[in-house]
Amino acid sequence: MTFITIFSQRLQHKHVLRRPLWVILACSGLLLGFYSPLHAQPRSLSLDDAISMALGRGEEISLAKAGVRAAEGNVEIATSGMLPQIAASANYTRLLKSQYGSTTTGTADTSAISKALNSLFKNFPFGKPNEWTLGLSASQNVFTGGRLIAQRQAAEARKHSADIDLTAAEAQLVLNVTQSYYDAVLADTIVKISRDALAQAEEVDRQTELQYKVGEKAEFDALRTRVARDNQIPIVLQAENDRSQAYYRLKQLLNLSLDDSLVLTTPVVDSLARFAMQSDSSTENRSSVVQASLNVDASQAQIRVAKAYHWPQISLFSQYSPVAYPDNFFPNFNEWLTNWTAGVNISIPIYTGGNIGGNVDVAEAGADQAIARLEQAREAAAMDSRIAFDNLHAAQANLRSTASTAAEAQRAYEIASVRFSQGISTEVELDDARLQEEQARANWARAVRNYQVARAKLALLKDLPVNPAQATVMQSTAQTAVTQQQASSPQQTFTAPASGASPSGATGQ
């Protein structure tokens, strides 16, 4: 990073003619004055602070953590089938009217018989107004044909996949915040460059106007410098609008109010320690490939679950049930009667109408799909890694090229300014030197940003997700964007900056 710092310092000390301009003040007032609350205090924000803030507040992380909790719950559910199931119950029933009530009425003879029956069956439930039933039941699976083990294996595979989802969400959020942060820094730089260019054009116009008034310049020269100055105004307006949008995207990622005022304190030329080392880029260790492999394991476990229903399902059970039929509301201890049962339950599938076979077919089809997705993930991960390395190498080469070009363009403009002030050169030569210097500085700023983003992606590559279905489309889109950027004209350089780099740090809005 030494050569970045050297050229950054050279560009920072470039002599640029500056003066208060009513145009700049008007543009700044229109674009920023109405969007920022007067009472808002700027918040200093480094890139490390932004990443920590996003990881603590991001909805993506909350969603991934919820997925981990759900997967842990599924593991517990699958494990519970292997353990004893014990339950307790209590039940009370109040008899409002009974068919046995007639035994207490009738003649004297029948009355005596009724009394004898009541004495004989006093502890039986016939016609008793109160009934209490307690229950304690237990069951234990003994043989399930491997179904419970397979269910637990599938749940554990999905739990590991959910853990990878969380790691991948964190890595993707870190990359998104880093890119958005550098986008905002680059937007600040583009605004500064466009304002410097406007100040230069304004100064040239002022000098030419004075020379025209004293007869040293023709009216054509004065008109030309005035048009050059006015043509710079839309570039400044567009750059400031693009900067506002870049900051909005960063604030959205950080869950900050869009009205908050930020001052970005990490220059794009500074490297973060977290991005110093490249992560493992081997295909089999990529997060998406590992997840696809775990999905294959889970799918194969589901096949075993489906096939397990061909086997008998054997379980043990026992139930202890005290009952009481007291005349009063609450029973006495000696009024309780005991029921206690134990047994073995064997369920043998004889004919299921194709249900088991259909479930096996569904599970095998799911496994075939999982294997195909694993191959897609491997191919996409290999291509993504290759593209990431190519982008880094291209960014390094572009950075070296644009750094020297920016220094040379700066020196050329200084010489052109001296030649113009001494009357040796024309406004055309000076205007051309200004556009070249403006373009070179913007290209250098973008090159630094692209280099830092490429380094960040390689540092996070192992944990970053890969979408096999969109990999080819993303590659084509990225290549098209690069081609369009390289073919842009100097005037287009200052419109829609999509990323952030700053030779001199960053100031926010």
CA distance 27 to 5: 32
Does the structure show a pLDDT above 90 at 232? no
For the chain, what are the domain ranges? 34-74+152-298+362-476, 83-143+313-347
Measure CA of the first residue to CA of the last residue in the chain; give whole Å: 28
Tell me what pLDDT residue 122 has: 61
Look at 22 and 164; give whichever has higher pLDDT.
164
Look at 296 and 217; give whichever has higher pLDDT.
296
Q: How far is CA 338 from each of CA 134, 135, 321, rounded to the nearest angstrom?
A: 10, 10, 6
Q: How far is CA 372 from each of CA 108, 272, 283, 293, 378, rounded to the nearest angstrom?
A: 89, 38, 16, 10, 10
Alpha-carbon dihedral sign for residues 31, 28, 497, 256: negative
Give me 272's structure tokens.
């973060």
Contact 164, 131 (CB under 8 A): no
In CATH, what is the architecture of 83-143+313-347?
Answer: Single Sheet (2.20)
Strands of 336-347's sheet in order across: 85-94, 130-143, 313-324, 336-347
Q: If you average pLDDT over residues 477-486, what whole number do you get?
A: 36
Tell me what pLDDT residue 311 has: 94
Compute the radius of gyration of the chain from its Cα atoms. 40
Contact 160, 74 (CB under 8 A): no
Does the structure show a pLDDT above 50 at 119? yes
Look at 432 and 466; give whichever has higher pLDDT.
466
Q: DSSP string spanning 402-420?
A: HHHHHHHHHHHHHHHHHHH
CA distance 414 to 252: 41
Tell me what pLDDT residue 407 has: 76
Give me 426's structure tokens.
């024309």
CA distance 28 to 233: 11
Does the structure show a pLDDT above 70 at 264? yes
Does the structure show a pLDDT above 60 at 102? no
Tell me what pLDDT residue 27 has: 46
Tell me what pLDDT residue 35 has: 44
* pLDDT one-digit tens code per residue, 268-301: 887 777 888 888 889 999 999 999 999 999 999 9
Tell me what pLDDT residue 219 has: 85
Beta strands in 184-333 (DSSP E): 262-264, 313-324
**Mean pLDDT lowest among 66-70, 98-102, 154-158, 430-434:** 98-102
Angle made by CA atoms 58, 59, 63, in degrees to the nearest 5: 125
Tell me what pLDDT residue 270 has: 77
Count CB-CB contacts under 10 A for residue 156: 19
Does the structure show a pLDDT above 70 at 498? no
Q: If you average pLDDT over residues 445-450, what whole number do you get?
A: 90
Residue at 468: amino acid letter: P
* pLDDT one-digit tens code per residue, 185-212: 999 989 988 898 888 888 888 888 888 8
Share of the chain above pLDDT 90, in %: 48
**Phi and psi of 423, rounded to 5°?**
80, 15
According to DSSP, the β-strands at 43-45 and 262-264 are parallel
| CATH topology for the 34-74+152-298+362-476 domain | Outer membrane efflux proteins (OEP) (1.20.1600)
Q: Which residue has the tokens 């310049």?
A: 217
Q: If you average pLDDT over residues 44-50, what whole number do you get?
A: 92
Does the structure show a pLDDT above 80 at 508? no
Whole-prediction pTM value? 0.74
* Reported confidence tier of residue 112, pLDDT bands at 50, 70, 90: low
